[in-house]
A and B are shown apart, each in its own frame.
Chain A
Amino acid sequence: MMSATSMFGGASLGSLALDRSVFTAERAQTRSAISEDPIEARAITAVKAGDAGSYGYLVTKYTKRVVSIAWGIVRNAADAEDLAQEAFVKAYENIARFKTGEPFGPWIYRIVTNLGLDLIKHRKRFRHEEITDAAPAERRDRADLPAITNELAARIDRAIQSLPEMQRIVARLYLVEQFGHTEIAAMTKLTEGTVRSHLSLARGKLKEKLADLHGGNND
């Protein structure tokens, strides 16, 4: 892959340390690692000062995660790519509002999530136009699915996909993207209580569908 240095003429790259875990302690460590990334902090300061080239570091560091979040919402590779691009441009345009010293990740995740939700709303509004194209759209979406060779993962994916829209989005952000309740609330503009409520409803349905996977029952 082309590096940010070569594409934007920015600083050298650091490793992407965004892997969030199930446990709060690990999540806190990860968050701390992001905010303490000195290259990221320098890149943000430079971009704010007008050095557009330094933005490449941030783009390269967060692209994969941003695309994954976008894809989870829209379930379409082309739309996910466009959303990621728009999110980065929007973040750049509003970089002056960004507080120096804070991690860039949560901000760009919030932007891409909101863009994704807007796209879904737009799709709903014009759903009548899609009715005739439903079959091709479905085929296209399936074609965009990552190759899930693992049967367990495939079943989980299908179960999450069967959930109502907001439960699906919240469940995916929590289960797949490994975000916490507070982070999801910030990303989706929902209250933390609403996020927990969506997740609780999703959990009940997922437990029914996947009861045999984890030896669970509905008690």
Chain B
Amino acid sequence: MTDDTFLEQLRNDARQLQYEPDDVMTTRIAARVRARVSEEAAGGVALILARWFRPVVASLAALSLAAIVGVGWLELSPEPAPGLDAVSSSQTVDVSVGGDVFSVE
């Protein structure tokens, strides 16, 4: 028997192995698909927009939360001691040259 003949015979015999879903299963599939398709159709543009905007809104909400927590933490933390820059920038030195007084920051 050639390979081709063997495969053809096998193909004829194997055809009966096709899975036959029962009526309950086919009805259930049709009903579920119908429900989901109806949902899609009813949602339409609103659904698509919701899908796109949901992650954007979620990201913004997360950022807002982080900002609120950050500001709150800064407000609660003790006032830091002024650094050298802060001291030097807030104090002025008066220099008198030839009767004129110059204020140097």
Chain A residues close to B by CB (< 8 Å) = 1-2, 4, 7-8, 22, 50, 52, 55-56, 59-60, 63-64, 67-68, 71-72, 77, 80-81, 84-85, 88-89, 92-93, 146, 148, 150, 152-153, 156-157, 160, 174-178, 199, 203, 206-207, 210, 213-217, 219
Q: Which B residues touch A175, using CB under 8 A?
A: 7, 10-11, 14-15, 17
**Known contacts A64-B20, A72-B19, A93-B40; A214 and B29 CB within 8 A of each other:** no
Q: Which A residues touch B37, using CB under 8 A?
A: 52, 55, 88-89, 92
**Known contacts A72-B19, A156-B17; A7 and B25 CB within 8 A of each other:** no
Q: Which A residues touch B33, using CB under 8 A?
A: 55, 59, 85, 88-89, 92
Check: B13 CB closer than 8 A to any chain A CB.
yes
Q: Which residue of chain A is the closest to B41 with respect to CB atoms?
A: A52
CA distance A52 to B40 in the complex (A): 9
The A contact surface, by secondary structure, is helix
How big is the B interface, by class?
35 or more
Q: A72-B19, A81-B21, A92-B37 are in contact. List 9 more A-B contacts (CB 8 A).
A: A56-B30, A60-B26, A64-B26, A80-B19, A92-B36, A160-B14, A175-B17, A178-B11, A207-B3
| Complex contact A2–B17 (CB within 8 A) | no
Check: B96 CB closer than 8 A to any chain A CB.
no
CA distance A216 to B38 in the complex (A): 54
| Complex contact B19–A214 (CB within 8 A) | no
CA distance A153 to B12 in the complex (A): 10
Check: B88 CB closer than 8 A to any chain A CB.
no
| Complex contact A68–B19 (CB within 8 A) | yes
**Known contacts A153-B13, A157-B17; A81 and B30 CB within 8 A of each other:** no
CA distance A214 to B8 in the complex (A): 11
Check: B69 CB closer than 8 A to any chain A CB.
no
Smallest CB separation, B40 vs chain A (Å): 7
